Structures are given as C-alpha cells and as structure tokens.
Amino acid sequence: MINLYNSHISSLSIHRVGNKSRNEGILLSQTPFELTDEMTPLLKEFFLKPFRDKEENYYQFAHGSDLEFHDLFQWISEIFEHPEGVHDVSKKIASHLFDQSMHPHIKSGEVYIAYLENLVLDNEKVDGIGIFKSEIKQDFLQFSESENNLMAHLQQGVNLNKLDKGALIFNSKKEEGYKVLSVDSNRYDARYWLESFLGVDAFADENFLTKKYLKFCQDFAKDVVLPAEDKKEEVLFMNRAVNHFAKNDLFEESSFVNEVIDNPDLIPEFRHYKAERAPKYKIEDLTSFPIANTAVTAARKKIKNTIQLDTNIQIKMDFINPESAEKFVEKGWDEEKQMYYYLVYFNQEQKS
C-alpha cells in the first residue's frame, strides 16, 4: 500500500524527446528546473494523482541475464546512492527513452525526472524516482488587453489534469529489481513504455500471486466446472474460492482443494488444469503464499455471481453466504414444458 500525500519533489529535470524515426531531435536541459511555491503543488498533483487512483500492480526491473546489464536499473541505483547527481543521470534516462522512440506511432513530448522524498510504501518512508512523460497537447486561449479591446490568442500546452505516461520507482527491494508502478493513458504503445524503455516484469509479491491464482480459479470454473456441472455450481465454486482466500492469511493449496472443490471427481481435473495452464498465470510450482486482502477484495468485485437465464431472468448469488444457494436453490427438469427450472425457497420477500 502506498501513501503519496506527504511526498516532496526535491529535484526536477525536464527534457524534450522526439521521435527518432521521424528525425525529431532531443533537447537536454543543462540545469535542473527551478521549482516555485506556486508550481510545485500543481506539478506534484499532475505527476502523482494517476498513481493514487490506480490499482497497485507492481513491476520490477528485469533482464534475461543479470540486472547488472540493465541500464535503467543501474542509473536508478546511481541516483539513489548519490541523489545530488540526479540531473546528470536524468540526461542518460532521457537519451535512453529517445533511443526507444523509433515506432511511427510514438509521440514526441516532455520528459520529467523527479527525485521524490517521503513516499510511504507498506508503512515505511522511502525515497523514490518519478519518470513522467507528457505527449498530448491541447488548445487553450490566452488573453491580452490592447487599449479598449480584449485580444484572444490560440496556444497549445499540456493539460495538468492528464498525465500521459509515468513510472514511480521506490527505493525498496533493490535486490529484486526495485518496486515499480506504471501508468499509461495511451495504451497503443504500451510495449514501448513498459518493455523497451522501463524493461520491467510483474513483481511477484503476495498481491500479484493472489490475483493470478484467483484468475486461474475463475478460468477453471468457466472451462471445467461449468461444462461438468452447471452455472450454479460454477458460481458456487468461485464463492467458496473467494471466501477461502478472504478468511485465510496464508494460502495452502491442499487445504484449498479440500475445502473448495465439492465434487471429488473434479480434484484430478483441477490438478491437470493447473499443470497445463500454470505458465499462463505464472503460478508454476506455487502451492503456498501469503494472501493479500486488497487483491481478494478487488477480485470479489470483478467476479460475476449471477446466473443469467435465456428467459430474461437473473438469479444473483451471495458471495458472503454461499451456503444459502446450496440450501435454498434447486435445479430440475420439467418434462411437460421440456425446460430446466430453478426452485428457490424463502420465508418472505425482502423490502428493497
């Protein structure tokens, strides 16, 4: 969990990076940008607001051989070790971004490299480095007075309400490639930002593992439980899966299988499905890990708990009390109508 409200921009460098394939150049500022009391809070909000509003999916710098060959990782480490030299290193970072700007779709723009203090990550104060890019320019009117007339001038500038791209690198978990957050408003060139420039991979912490395992369970429910049984059992399986995660701090696969899979015939199907699909979810050989409650809460909101019938009727299950569906909802077949039916028991209707 992060808290950015008390963070402080102690240094800011601004450069301009063009598209290399269109023969656009690069402009590297010779000195850091001089922040003013008026501009500092505006820039801080511009840079950090997208990260406060975004789900925390962490990345880490990664290299096929070793992190010592990862240029951006080395420059970030250099800044954390010697913050006073951040501006000189920021030129290397901007030049690196320029070198990756080869695709015709990539837009030119301003690059901001900020040294940040007093970031809170997992209840611990850490320093951070922000790399931000503004690409889209918007028209605005600037007014001036001439004698008794008001003159309007059309100009272009950056909208401080929308950051196009950004990365926050926290001075934490250096041995694993630091903890990194990324935002990208223009998804058409995501590989350019995440892969070519940042060179990151997903950070396999408890948040990542919890989300990936629940996504694996969701697909197992759809691909195996639903065809083998019915929609009700698919929903109930996910009810039990989410509730198992919600009430435990540590995930143990053997306990999960015994508690969540009601039909013993599906247990070997579950193991086969995992063995076949695990690389897709990056959960190979994963049988135990700490559970992230925030990931469980987020997953609960995304998982559908409704049986949609072709007669324009919906039956909504309760994730908190799945035993209600098992006790009070029955499925059958009506010979006369040649249709399936659900029989729902209740004492009285609840007032909405």
111 pLDDT band (50/70/90 cuts)? Answer: very high
> How many domains does the chain fold into?
2
Residue 10 lies in a domain: yes
C-alpha 295: how far from its chain's center?
11
Q: What is the mean pLDDT of the chain?
A: 90
Is residue 284's pLDDT more than 90?
A: no
323 pLDDT band (50/70/90 cuts)? Answer: low
Out of 185, 203, 221, a domain closes at 203
Bridge pairing between strands 329-334 and 339-344: antiparallel
| 231/346 Cα distance (integer angstroms) | 21
Residue 143 lies in a domain: yes
Q: What is the pLDDT of residues 206-261, one digit of tens each?
A: 989 999 999 999 999 999 999 998 888 888 898 889 989 999 999 999 999 999 99
Is the Cβ–Cβ distance between 325 and 306 less than 8 Å? Answer: no
Query: Are 154 and 93 members of one domain?
Result: yes
Query: Are 138 and 238 members of one domain?
Result: no
Out of 203, 231, 263, a domain closes at 203
Average pLDDT (264-271) is 93
Residue 350 lies in a domain: no
Give residue 216's pLDDT: 94
Is residue 322's pLDDT more than 80?
A: no
Query: Are 59 and 93 members of one domain?
Result: yes
Query: Are 152 and 253 members of one domain?
Result: no
Out of 203, 233, 256, a domain closes at 203
Residue 168 lies in a domain: yes
Query: Are 161 and 225 members of one domain?
Result: no
Give residue 53's pLDDT: 76
Query: Are 147 and 192 members of one domain?
Result: yes
Residue 130 lies in a domain: yes
Is residue 321's pLDDT more than 70?
A: no
Query: Are 164 and 197 members of one domain?
Result: yes
Query: Are 272 and 316 members of one domain?
Result: yes
Is residue 319's pLDDT more than 60?
A: no
Query: Are 39 and 69 members of one domain?
Result: yes
Q: What is the pLDDT of residues 135-182, one digit of tens each?
A: 988 988 999 998 889 999 998 889 999 999 999 999 999 999 999 999
Give residue 320's pLDDT: 60
Query: Are 44 and 193 members of one domain?
Result: yes
- Containing structural domain, residue 85: 2-203
Q: What is the pLDDT of residues 2-48, one digit of tens each?
A: 899 999 999 999 999 999 888 899 999 999 999 999 999 999 999 99
What does residue 160 show for φ and ψ, rounded to 5 degrees? -75, 0
Query: Are 128 and 78 members of one domain?
Result: yes
Confirm whether pTM is higher than 0.85: no
